Amino acid sequence: MSFSIPLKRAIEVDKFTVGQKAINFAVVENYMNIPFSMVITTEAFDEFVTYNQLGPELDWFKKATNLQDKVASFERLVTHFKNSQFPQYVVDALQECYELVSLDTNNLHNLSVKNQSQGLLMLTRSLNQDEDLASTPKTFFTKETFKQFIETIKKAYISAFTPDAVLQEDSKIAVIVSRVPALKTTIETEYDLNKSKIYVRTYYGFPDFSEVVEKDEFIVNGEFLKIEKSGIQSQKRASVFDSTKNMLSVGEFKQENSSQNVADSVILEVARLTKTISKTMGASFVRARFFAAERIECVDIDCIFGETDFEEKTIEETVVEDSKIDLDSLGVKLDSFEKKEKLHENINEFEFKNFLEALKMFMEKYKSKELASSVPILVRSLEQPNKNSIHQSLEICKEIISNFNEDEE
């Protein structure tokens, strides 16, 4: 009896042991980077239920037919799960799992004191059935102690029994445990094979399950892997890990700029990886999540097989097309900026963002070899713009126009 196994071995067993999500990860592991992970098998859940005599409570929940009974049953389950314990032989196996994932086995060659510090762990439930994509959060984070790790496992268990859950009679729960990399940016994707569109959202910080964090949005053509539309927002909030509560929470993000100014190449790469997941799994709809820091790592996969009825999404396109750029009007705005103490006091935020995106897009698209080194620096400076950076960018745009005119003559 195995209570935990490496994720890469999940493909060797069935979904009744590790759940469907773990198998999905094991299948695509050969095609993309995935954090080192272990799977706490459904056998650990079975032992937890048996040891604490929770069977009758689970049966009552599964048989509840109306919302009132579901809510009452769920509240009872929460209390029972919190007060229940794993048998010692399961605790010993979970301790080994905890230590293996915490060690960061991808970097054993560099075991400095700094790198040996406890990393953040991500726990994701994995059921032996396909889950509703709109279901309650199934991912939890923990740090610091083994005791908190155990409590977070129980949170992952109870998350499968919320009142809106649709569980089969033989439902079993496994938990994927992953070591979170040095996270900088979260990237979420959705791919509908029938519409051949890939929707990408990027933002600084940890996953935003509250849906209140501002995100940059992109629509990628699934056939040609080309960005068709972009919506850039000023990120004012971010999801962070609250160590006092041992959970994620949303806080103020002081850098009021575009999420991370994620390069087009990164957007297209995660779009390609999402298509790869669809092809490898034979899925008609894929929802995935990636963490981007030193490299891009896939950390969550949900698939639907067969027909889908998802509505096509639209985003507000705030990036100005280069054909609409009027340098004369930009110059007028620059003059008006210099007459004000605040950089964009006299225009609204939407116009200001359009103005900055126009400068960036024009410079990047039409830069000459002579300007190749200076343009990227100016583009980055516009993430936190001031009069000087805007003035320099405008001068570059005028120089590009002047060069075009000379070439035509």
Give residue 302's pLDDT.
Answer: 85
Nearest of 284, 271, 126 to residue 198 by alpha carbon: 271
Give residue 325's pLDDT.
Answer: 45
In angstroms, rounded to a whole number, what is the distance separating the alpha carbons of residues 175 and 4?
Answer: 9
Token representation of residue 79: 């209390």
Which single residue is written with the structure tokens 């509505």? 311
In angstroms, rounded to a whole number, what is the distance separating the alpha carbons of residues 203 and 12?
Answer: 35
* Domain formed by 4-180, architecture: 2-Layer Sandwich (3.30)
By DSSP bridging, strand 226-231 and strand 197-204 are unpaired
Give residue 383's pLDDT.
Answer: 62
In angstroms, rounded to a whole number, what is the distance separating the alpha carbons of residues 89 and 93?
Answer: 7
Token representation of residue 44: 């650990």
Q: What is the CATH number of domain 182-319?
A: 3.30.470.20
By DSSP bridging, strand 197-204 and strand 185-192 are antiparallel
Answering whether pTM is above 0.75, one says no
* Domain ranges, ordered by start, for the chain: 4-180, 182-319, 322-408
Q: What is the mean pLDDT of each run of 10 residues along the chain (409 residues)?
A: 88 87 88 91 94 88 76 85 94 93 62 52 84 65 88 90 66 89 84 90 87 88 88 82 82 62 86 93 89 86 68 51 46 53 49 66 64 61 64 71 58
In angstroms, rounded to a whole number, what is the distance separating the alpha carbons of residues 184 and 290?
Answer: 11
On the CB side of 255, CA atoms within 13 Å amount to 12
Which single residue is written with the structure tokens 């820091």? 293
Terminal C-alpha separation, the chain: 80
Give CA angle at 388 (383, 389), nearest 5°. Answer: 30
Token representation of residue 382: 């516009």
With 0-12 / 13-18 / 19 or more C-beta atoms within 10 angstroms meaning exposed / middle / buried, residue 98 is: buried
Contact yes or no for 10/45 (Cβ under 8 A):
no
